[in-house]
């Protein structure tokens, strides 16, 4: 007889800097190993039963998942006060029933340079570092920037470093956020330039 007492699932809604996105935080891990998953349409949700179900709501525009939260981006015609409770209750019930959240992460387009073999570390979703400077960039993003960005319901991914310019991709609530440009320039670029002198600029590509 199984006497294990299942911990009740608690979900709370948390606003993000992006007025179109709401972060739904769970009291348990939803995505493991530091991975993230972004879905911009129902057609992309093949590997995530939860994301597929969320896109059945007509007001859902995008879904992003990482660690213990789901960020939902809505269409502009609907107000959060009209749908937040419905979404929160749906996510709580879905998880409580033991339904699968993700069975296969979205495939990432990652550039790999096999000429750099000295310090190989696995950085989830980031483009594979091809030199020591890129390793430092990714380490800085992971250690100092990613926790703050995830706190706002999004994530940041390293894409490339060319002629002093670091290209990143902002996902989740940070994608399309009105304040993301300020965050990128005043926060992320400033930190990287201070810690890595070779960095002269940080730009973001569309997520």
Residue by residue, DSSP assigns the chain as ---PPPPPP-EEEEE-SSTTEEEEEESS-SS-TT-EEEESSGGG-TT-HHHHHHTTSTTEEEEEEETTEEEEEE-TTS-HHHHHHHHHHHHHHHHHTT--S-SSPPPP-----TT--SS----TTSPPP-SHHHHHHHHHIIIIIHHHHHHTTEEEEEEEEETTEEEEEEEETTTT-TTHHHIIIIIIIHHHHHH-TT--EEEEE--
pTM: 0.64
Q: What pLDDT is recorded for position 186?
A: 66
* 117-155 pLDDT, tens digit each: 333 333 357 778 888 989 888 888 888 787 777 776 777
Q: What pLDDT is recorded for position 117?
A: 36
Q: Is residue 153 within 8 Å of 172, Cβ to Cβ?
A: yes
Q: What pLDDT is recorded for position 48?
A: 92
Q: What pLDDT is recorded for position 189?
A: 84
Q: What pLDDT is recorded for position 181?
A: 59
Q: What pLDDT is recorded for position 72?
A: 93
Identify the residue with better confidence: 204 or 207: 204
Q: What pLDDT is recorded for position 119?
A: 36
Q: What pLDDT is recorded for position 122?
A: 36
Structural domains of the chain ordered from first start: 11-96 (3.30.1370.70), 132-205 (3.30.300.130)
* 172-201 pLDDT, tens digit each: 766 666 555 566 666 788 888 888 899 998
* 51-110 pLDDT, tens digit each: 999 999 999 999 989 888 899 999 999 999 999 999 999 999 999 999 999 888 776 544
In degrees to the nearest 10, what's the CA dihedral of 141, 122, 31, 176? 40
Q: Is residue 153 within 8 Å of 21, Cβ to Cβ?
A: yes
Q: What pLDDT is recorded for position 63?
A: 92
Q: Is residue 186 within 8 Å of 155, Cβ to Cβ?
A: no
Q: What pLDDT is recorded for position 170?
A: 79
From its phi and psi, is residue 163 left (phi > 0), alpha (psi between -120 and 50) or beta?
Answer: left
* Mean pLDDT computed over 23-52: 87
* Residue 73, φ and ψ in degrees, nearest 5: -105, 130
Report how far residue 99's alpha carbon sits from residue 157's, in angstroms, rounded to the nearest whole number.
28
Report how far residue 191's alpha carbon sits from residue 58's, in angstroms, rounded to the nearest whole number.
40
């Amino acid at each position: 007889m199984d006497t294990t007492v299942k911990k009740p699932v608690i979900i709370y809604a948390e606003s993000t800097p992006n007025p179109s996105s709401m972060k739904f935080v769970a009291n348990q891990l939803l995505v493991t190993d530091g991975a993230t998953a972004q879905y911009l349409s129902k057609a992309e949700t093949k590997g995530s039963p939860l994301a597929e179900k969320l896109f059945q709501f007509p007001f859902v525009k995008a879904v992003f998942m990482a660690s213990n939260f789901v960020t939902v981006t809505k269409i502009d015609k609907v107000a959060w006060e009209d749908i937040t409770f419905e979404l929160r209750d749906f996510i709580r019930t879905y998880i409580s029933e033991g339904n699968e959240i993700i069975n296969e992460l979205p495939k990432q387009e990652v550039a790999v340079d096999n000429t750099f073999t000295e310090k190989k570390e696995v950085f989830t979703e980031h483009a594979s570092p091809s030199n020591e400077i890129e390793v430092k960039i990714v380490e800085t993003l992971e250690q100092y920037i990613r926790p703050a960005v995830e706190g706002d319901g999004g994530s940041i991914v390293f894409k490339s470093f060319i002629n002093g310019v670091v290209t990143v991709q902002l996902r989740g609530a940070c994608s399309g956020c009105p304040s993301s440009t300020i965050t990128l320039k005043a926060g992320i670029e400033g930190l990287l330039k201070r810690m890595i002198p070779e960095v002269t600029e940080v730009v973001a590509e569309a997520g």
